[in-house]
Amino acid sequence: MARGGSELSVKSVQVTLDVLEAVAFSDDEVGVTELAGRLGLTKGTIFRHLKTLVDRGYLAQNPATSRYRLGIKSHLLGRMAGAAIDLLAASEQAMKTLRNATGQSVVLSAVEPRAVRVVSTLIGKSSIEIGVRPGSELQFHATAQGKIALAFSRRSLLAKLEKQSLARFTDHTITSVSALRREIERVRSQGWATAPEQTMLGINAVAAPVFDSRSGCVGALAIVGSVQFLRHQPDAAQISAVKNSAALVSRNLGFTAGERGAVA
């Protein structure tokens, strides 16, 4: 019975995606009857899925015609996906250079409203594999990449975070809002961030911001490794390598060094 329920859930998701794609790839707004005929489903089934997509903002209904078009959330997803692709293309060579220079795993992340999302990873040269799976969400307050987002993003991420309870992952995690605020000021001043054992014991990271052509912080480039090789206070060569590689990615995205570039 559980298996049957699972299969029904998967089928429901597939229908929802079919409806979304049918609207997205239509030349004009589309109605319930047209969608039902195109997908071979009843109008009642189509309407239920349309309602869910409208409620979530992925589709919008024209009140004058009752027909459907893409909603604001679909447009936002498209913009974020495009930005992630640009970020990935601009970072490919810099990631390889950084891995070769430090021997550590390299992680590229994109800044999102709720967290920092891993876009790509390049495993280091150590016999012990340390990396972060692409698609993973990194918490703002407990990761080097997240601190970069808090320090350099134009979004009011820190203000929103201050209203929440900061989750504790290890004894080293910053859970005090005042302590986090001081940490972010330090990160903003020095142009790089670290988070020794703040998400997982034995692991540290060093990250620097990536800016786009409009001087917005769109991501972070980081090295990740064992505290044996990436100490609580990283050495100057590691920090310099991360900052230089992140600056190269920023230039590839069209960023022109100015006031922000001096700390990036």
Show which of 24, 41, 70 is a domain's final residue.
Answer: 70
Residue 184 falls inside a structural domain: yes
Distance of alpha carbon 151 from alpha carbon 206, whole angstroms = 14
Rounded to the nearest 10 degrees, what angle do helices 2-24 and 43-55 cross at? 80
**What is residue 5's predicted lDDT score, i.e. its pLDDT?**
58
Same domain, residue pair 36 and 93: no
Residue 26 falls inside a structural domain: yes
**What is residue 264's predicted lDDT score, i.e. its pLDDT?**
35
* CATH at residue 13: 1.10.10.10
Residue 107 falls inside a structural domain: yes
Task: Classify residue 145 as left (phi > 0), alpha (psi -120 to 50) or beta.
Answer: alpha
pLDDT in tens, 169-207: 999 999 999 999 999 999 999 999 999 999 999 999 999
Same domain, residue pair 217 and 123: yes
pLDDT in tens, 17-73: 999 999 988 888 999 999 999 999 999 999 999 999 999 889 999 988 999 998 888
Same domain, residue pair 23 and 51: yes
Same domain, residue pair 59 and 164: no
**What is residue 262's predicted lDDT score, i.e. its pLDDT?**
36
Distance of alpha carbon 203 from alpha carbon 108, whole angstroms = 17
Same domain, residue pair 206 and 162: yes
pLDDT (average), residues 99-122: 92
Expressed as residue numbers, the domain containing 15 is 2-70
Global confidence as pTM: 0.69
Same domain, residue pair 64 and 85: no
Same domain, residue pair 97 and 59: no
Same domain, residue pair 119 and 17: no
Residue 262 falls inside a structural domain: no
Show which of 43, 70, 97 is a domain's final residue.
Answer: 70
**What is residue 98's predicted lDDT score, i.e. its pLDDT?**
96
Residue 174 falls inside a structural domain: yes
Residue 162 falls inside a structural domain: yes
Same domain, residue pair 200 and 115: yes
pLDDT (average), residues 140-144: 96
Does 155 score more than 90 pLDDT? no
Distance of alpha carbon 31 from alpha carbon 46, whole angstroms = 10
**What is residue 261's predicted lDDT score, i.e. its pLDDT?**
41
Give start and end residues of each alpha helix (H) in the chain.
2-24, 32-39, 43-55, 72-102, 144-152, 157-161, 177-190, 236-252
* CATH at residue 183: 3.30.450.40
Residue 76 falls inside a structural domain: no
Does 225 score more than 70 pLDDT? yes
Confidence tier at 259 by pLDDT (50, 70, 90):
very low
Residue 48 falls inside a structural domain: yes
Same domain, residue pair 66 and 96: no
Domain count, the chain: 2
Does 118 score more than 70 pLDDT? yes
pLDDT in tens, 66-82: 999 988 888 767 766 66
Same domain, residue pair 132 and 229: yes
Distance of alpha carbon 231 from alpha carbon 239, whole angstroms = 11
Percent of the chain with pLDDT over 90: 61
Backbone dihedral angles phi then psi of residue 126, each to the nearest 5 degrees: -70, 155
Weakest mean pLDDT among 45-59, 105-119, 150-164: 150-164
